[in-house]
Amino acid sequence: MSIGSIPESIELIINAEVERINKEQSEKEEREKVDYQQRLERGRAYIKAYVDRELEFVPEYLREFYHHLNQSNRDADELAHLYGRENESQDVNLDLVFYIPGLAPIVYDVYNESLGCFTAHRNNETDCAVWGDWRNAYRLRDCVETVLVIAKEEFDKYQTIQSEYDLRVEKRRERELEEQRRDYERSVMDDAIEEVEEMENEVLFEAIKDDQVAIFMLKAFVGIQQERKHFEQRIDGAE
């Protein structure tokens, strides 16, 4: 089989086929994009209707503080996409979460028709404050205002834990800055000492460079120091 350029007639067929495949792929991606957007819109509408319906069951003073559905492992678009399926029966049973300033997040349990709040905990790894599972559920027909009191207590607990954490972080930062300051001062001092020693060496060299006797004595002193070092090493080895 000879190796050479593709015949023009064959190349035209290949180019036409590539163009057709690319066009089909582009049209498919556009359809999928439109379908995805439509499914999101259906899902958002469905979830909004669900939330509006369930809000009718909670005390009126809570409704304005509704924040999101308690679905921590999915964001809003993922949730909308999940419930945006067309011509399929929907079975939503998600709790409603309310954020009231100064209180722990409050949860409306749709299935049990009860209210509760998240609890404050200390993170085992970072030591900072986190919201744990929610508890203290009260049936809507009971005195649900008690949840507000508990939510206030949990928020105060959260603030205390976080304040203690922030204080520890600040102290740790102060210690790090103090250590950096000390390292810098030691570095500056070492540089200054080294500079002085270099100056002294230069002065000493200038003083004795023409004095042969002084140079001979300096060499002798260096030799004695080396011999002394070797002698000490032999003594250490003998011991």
Kindly list the domain boundaries of the chain, sorted by start residue: 209-239
Q: What is the pLDDT of residues 7-19, one digit of tens each?
A: 888 889 989 999 9
- pLDDT value at residue 47: 84
**pLDDT per position as a tens digit, 18-68:** 999 999 999 899 988 888 888 888 888 888 888 898 899 888 889 999 988
Region 125-153: what's the mean pLDDT?
75
Mean pLDDT value across residues 212-239: 68
| Residue 185: φ, ψ to 5° | -60, -40
pTM of the model: 0.60
Tokens standing for residue 16 = 């036409």
Whether 121 contacts 94, CB under 8 Å: no
* Chain mean pLDDT for the chain: 79
The confidence score (pLDDT) of residue 204 equals 66
Rg of the chain's alpha carbons, rounded to an integer?
Answer: 39
Strands (E), the chain: 66-69, 96-98, 106-109, 114-122, 129-139
pLDDT, position 65: 94
Top-ranked range on mean pLDDT: pick from 75-84, 109-118, 212-221: 109-118
Map tokens 């003998």 to a residue: 238
pLDDT at 4 over 70: no
On whether the CB atoms of residues 152 and 144 are closer than 8 A, the answer is no
Tens digit of each residue's pLDDT (9 = 90 or more) over 57-108:
888 889 999 988 876 566 777 777 777 776 555 666 788 999 999 999 998 8
Report whether pLDDT(1) > 50. no
Q: What are the tens digits of pLDDT across the range 144-192?
A: 788 888 889 989 998 998 898 888 889 888 898 888 888 888 887 777 6
Token code pair at residue 138: 């009260």
